[in-house]
Amino acid sequence: MKELILIKNGEIALKGLNRSHFEEILVRNIKWRLRDLGKTTVKRAQSTIYIEPEDCDFYDFDEAIDRLQKIFGIVMISRALVLEKSMDAILEHIADYCADELQGAKTFKVVAKRSDKRFPLTSPEIAAEAGGAILRRFPRLKVDVRNPDVTIMVEIRDFGAYIHGGQLPGAGGMPVSSSGQALLLISGGIDSPVAAYMMAKRGLQLNAIHFVSPPYTSDRALEKVETLCEKLAPYTGRIKFYCVPFTEIQEALREHCPEELFTILMRRLMMKIATRIAENDEIEALVTGESLAQVASQTLQALHCTDTATDLVVLRPLIGMDKSEIIHISKEIGTFETSILPYEDCCTVFTPRHPRTKPKLKYVVKAEQDYDFGPLLDKAVAETTWKMIP
């Protein structure tokens, strides 16, 4: 019995002349994510991608489909039986192959699609005959064309005839890396991993940067962020993860700058370091997990202060979301449990008692210039380490 996986891509289909380019990226992402599951041929035709395992009997279809459901750029996934293009073969196998789906159902319908117009029967004729074969095998079933419990598909395409018992939803969005690359500022919190998910969904490939302040922050806090990256990887693909030593900068801030501006200055210095790391990798955008008014450093005025610390585009996909909506996504994508582990982040180490919620840019810039952070910034960039996750 030969089976394969059929993939339908969504928004890519709207891309006109560029479509082929987007599909190539999607195929590359699919091959990479399934690479360790066994040999497959991945080909595309008629806005469908076909994944054909070399050895169907030993291929872990469930695991493959689970992974495919997390790959952006896919809207529908079906596991299908491959047959020669003959009505006899279809009628012989259809009821058996779809038995699991049909057994639990009361009503069904067959939808036939014939993109190979040389096939002698029309789509309605194929559907009627196939429906008849199913009724002979499951006589208590009824046909319901409007609202069936189960829809069985018969597709006559270029390479063969395919039967499947329905479609599973994909993750939607655009293939990762089709929109370019960005650098994510990732903390151990709930928000920034969700921001990563949302921007990967729009086709960005992500590097991540995390600031640590040992001994104020622990190894476990860093491991927690690495775990978050591992949990994001099924959606984002591999992540180049940078770790920046931030202790000396924070100590200098505490000593030389007005306490109420500590948070906003720290965030500006983070943006400056992130910008230098991004530019080294020829990356043109930063991503943060900021959401308007969530905390003191996320007022309009504070966001303006952080924006002006960089020339890069700053993407804040959570800007208009409530915390409850962010938590909902965080639970769906499986980062929530890790995010709520109680380890100190460098942001919480020297939190001022009364942070300025409406900082004026000119005072912030003045305070920043009153102390020469240049050498410390150079040192932090020089001592930054990176690794690939996973």
Residues that bind Mg ion (CB under 5 A): 187, 189
Which one of ligand ATP, Mg ion, none interacts with residue 130, CB within 5 to 8 A by kind? Answer: none
Which one of ligand ATP, Mg ion, none interacts with residue 226, CB within 5 to 8 A by kind? Answer: none
Restricting to residues 288-327, which ones interact with ligand ATP according to CB under 6 A?
288-290, 294-295, 297
Cβ–Cβ < 8 Å for 122, 82: no
CB of 197 to ligand ATP, least distance (A): 12
Which one of ligand ATP, Mg ion, none interacts with residue 163, CB within 5 to 8 A by kind? Answer: none
Whichever of 5 and 270 has its CB closer to Mg ion, that residue is 270
CB of 376 to ligand ATP, least distance (A): 16
The binding track of 186-225 with respect to ligand ATP, each residue x by CB under 6 A or -, is xx-xxxx----------------xxx--------------
Longest Cα–Cα distance in the chain: 86
Give the helix ranges, DSSP H, for 9-86: 19-33, 61-68
CB of 162 to ligand ATP, least distance (A): 44
Contacting range for ligand ATP; rule: CB under 6 A; set: 31-39, 50-58, 119-127, 180-188: 180-188
Take residue 273 and report the two structure tokens written for it: 């370091």
CB of 349 to ligand ATP, least distance (A): 9
Sign (positive or negative) of CA dihedral 388, 209, 178, 3: positive
Which CA distances in Å does 223 have to 227, 233, 243? 6, 15, 11
Closest CA to 112 of 96, 100, 95, 129: 129
Give the helix ranges, DSSP H, for the chain: 19-33, 61-68, 87-97, 99-103, 123-137, 191-201, 219-236, 247-256, 262-280, 300-307, 323-333, 336-339, 346-349, 361-370, 374-382
Whichever of 155 and 191 has its CB closer to ligand ATP, that residue is 191
CB of 69 to Mg ion, least distance (A): 29
Give pairs for 292-298: CB < 8 Å, separation 24+: 292/319, 292/320, 294/191, 294/323, 296/263, 296/355, 296/356, 296/357, 297/263, 297/264, 297/267, 297/355
| Residue whose Cβ sits closest to ligand ATP | 189
Whichever of 336 and 373 has its CB closer to ligand ATP, that residue is 336
Whichever of 318 and 367 has its CB closer to ligand ATP, that residue is 318
CB of 31 to Mg ion, least distance (A): 35
By the rule CB under 6 A, 155 interacts with ligand ATP: no
Whichever of 48 and 192 has its CB closer to ligand ATP, that residue is 192
Question: What number of chain residues touch ligand ATP (CB under 6 A)?
Answer: 19
Please classify residue 372 by burial: count the beta carbons closer than 10 Å to its beta carbon, then call 0-12 exposed, 13-18 middle and 19+ buried.
exposed
Whichever of 64 and 221 has its CB closer to Mg ion, that residue is 221
Which one of ligand ATP, Mg ion, none interacts with residue 48, CB within 5 to 8 A by kind? Answer: none
Take residue 78 and report the two structure tokens written for it: 């079906």
DSSP state of 261: G
Whichever of 26 and 266 has its CB closer to ligand ATP, that residue is 266
CB of 279 to Mg ion, least distance (A): 24
Whichever of 189 and 359 has its CB closer to Mg ion, that residue is 189
Whichever of 85 and 201 has its CB closer to ligand ATP, that residue is 201
Would you say how long the chain is, in residues?
Answer: 390
314 - beta bridge partners?
286
| Cis, bond preceding 258 (omega within 30 deg of 0) | no
Which one of ligand ATP, Mg ion, none interacts with residue 288, CB within 5 to 8 A by kind? Answer: ligand ATP
CB of 345 to Mg ion, least distance (A): 5
DSSP 276-333: HHHHHTT--EEE----TTSSGGGSHHHHHHHHTT-SSEEE-TTTT--HHHHHHHHHHH
CB of 289 to ligand ATP, least distance (A): 3
Cβ–Cβ < 8 Å for 189, 203: no
Q: Which residues bind ligand ATP (CB under 6 A)?
A: 185-187, 189-192, 209-211, 288-290, 294-295, 297, 345-347
